[in-house]
Amino acid sequence: MPHRDAEIALLRQELEMLMGERRQLLQVAGAAAVLIAGLDSKRLPVKAIEAADMVATTINGLPDETLKDALDSVNAEIEEPEALQ
């Protein structure tokens, strides 16, 4: 059983490492989402608009729950669209 215990310990370490990386990636995605949301595209150079569009497209491809986790990780709030009148 010592071999099995060692495998379990290695798997636990790997899982903890992956969870730590996930937390960091969520923070990066959340910070990027906040940055993109705050940009004024009319004031950006074309190259910056292209890069921002690439980031926004990637962020928009995330599942809703993952995006929510990302925004929560940087304490950002989603503004609800105003109701149509």
pLDDT in tens, 52-66: 999 999 999 999 999
Tens digit of each residue's pLDDT (9 = 90 or more) over 1-49: 789 999 999 999 999 999 999 999 999 999 999 999 999 989 999 999 9
**Residue with the larger pLDDT of the pair 33 and 85:** 33
For 70, counting Cβ atoms within 10 Å of its Cβ (0-12 exposed, 13-18 middle, 19+ buried), the class is buried
Task: In whole angstroms, give the CA distance from residue 42 to residue 44.
Answer: 6
pLDDT number for residue 85 = 45
Q: What is the pTM of this model?
A: 0.80
